[in-house]
Amino acid sequence: MSASKSNGSSDKAPALEQQEERCEGEIGGDNSMTRLRKDPNLDHRSDCYEDVKSDYHPALFSALERFLPSQLLDAPRDVKLQYLNKVVSRYVPRGDRNRVQCQREYKERIFNDYQSFIDAVKENTEESFKRILSEPSPGVYTFDMFQQGFCELLINEVENFERWVDATKLTVVRPNTMNKYGVVLDDLGFENMLDQLMINFIKPLASVLFPDVGGSTLDTHHGFVVEYSKDRDRDLGFHVDDSEVTLNVCLGKIFTGGDLFFRGVRCDTHVNVDAHTEEFFEYTHVPGQAVLHAGRHRHGANEILSGHRMNLILWCRSAVFRELKKHQHDFYSWCGECLNQKKERRQQLIDARYQEFFHT
Ligand SMILES: [Fe+2]
Ligand SMILES: [Zn+2]
């Protein structure tokens, strides 16, 4: 970086208090009071700034420190840092400065709002997750996930994409074999974001809540948005997902009907076996709220009665689980019917022993 233009007195910096006043709120104005030396002091050993939280790389401050006015070379580190920050910020365009500032404030707000969620993920225990989740039916977890503003932004993005598809008459890949409307988010540039979401937040939850169906080894995803209304998809038939764990978040908009219904978890062999009464569960979507369930948890969506509903779906998959499954024959740890049959076999065994005992 070039030092400021020398006016012949560049290393005679006035006291810092004065410089702050001159620079405050007017970084692009008269900055003659905060300027660096033309030539570095090669004998000076710079401080380390590795621990400083800044939008600039710490090495930049260490490198620039040698260009400080000589009176400041031995000043406390925070004084030097303040001075250097003022100099460096002059080289960032005003628009970028605003953007960086907005991003910082946004990050802080997010971390404050989601502190309880982040704490629970860090703690990583069933108890900590149960503080932030509800389990209205066995194996179906719900929690608040997106704020209204984010839902609106994502809906806008999807609608822009749909308008572009209409205008160009292009054929696009739809989310899956059952949804004829909606978009694959991975194709819109969301792949990395959704991968981070899965690895950093869904996988820790799934490791604890769905350990028997590959929750701790999730490694790939398929992310998409589905749309329901009278002139789009109207309902969704009874099915299982091509996932180990599914995250389903309602984005809005305004609608009635379209409840999600669940009918128990089943392996491939028992996928068409009737549900038991205790496996019946219906869930009414709430914008911003997420549902997390095993992909093999059979479900469907009732017909939408009015309005327009959009949901973000993230199918989380585990290659390890799929490979292991090929070598197993029963799945009583998670399939309701395998468990039922195991219980029946045990009961038959007990009955047989009982008969044996009393008839001999
Ligand atoms: Fe599904
Ligand atoms: Zn089974």
Question: Separation of 300 CA from ligand 1 center, angstroms?
Answer: 6
List, in order of start, the domains of the chain with CATH numbers.
Answer: 16-96 (no CATH), 136-344 (2.60.120.620)
Ligand nearest to the CA of 242: 1
pLDDT at residue 52, as a whole number: 87
10 Å Cβ neighbour count for 348? 10
pLDDT at residue 254, as a whole number: 93
Extract the tokens encoding 147. 């704020």
Judge whether 74 and 83 are in contact, CB under 8 Å.
no
pLDDT at residue 360, as a whole number: 59
Question: Separation of 226 CA from ligand 2 center, angstroms?
Answer: 29
pTM tops 0.75:
no
Judge whether 222 and 192 are in contact, CB under 8 Å.
no
Question: Separation of 241 CA from ligand 1 center, angstroms?
Answer: 5
pLDDT at residue 143, as a whole number: 92
Beta bridge partners of 142: 134, 291
Condensed to tens digits (0 to 9), the pLDDT of residues 56-72 reads 888 889 999 999 998 89
Q: What is the dihedral of CA 70, 76, 80, 81, to 10 degrees?
A: 170
Question: Separation of 157 CA from ligand 2 center, angstroms?
Answer: 40
Nearby residues for ligand 1 (ion, Cβ within 5 Å): 241
pLDDT at residue 22, as a whole number: 32
**pLDDT below 70 — which residues of the chain?**
1-33, 92-97, 109-110, 113, 360
Ligand nearest to the CA of 294: 1
* Phi and psi, residue 137, nearest 5°: -150, 150
pLDDT at residue 176, as a whole number: 87
Question: Separation of 358 CA from ligand 2 center, angstroms?
Answer: 34
pLDDT at residue 32, as a whole number: 53
Report cis status (omega within 30 of 0) of the bond before 342. Answer: no
Beta bridge partners of 222: 315
pLDDT at residue 16, as a whole number: 35
Question: Separation of 279 CA from ligand 1 center, angstroms?
Answer: 16
The CA–CA distances, whole Å, from 246 to 38, 102, 107, 268, 339 equal 60, 33, 27, 17, 22
Question: Separation of 332 CA from ligand 1 center, angstroms?
Answer: 22
Distance of CA 347 to the CA centre of its chain: 45
Ligand nearest to the CA of 336: 2
pLDDT at residue 93, as a whole number: 66
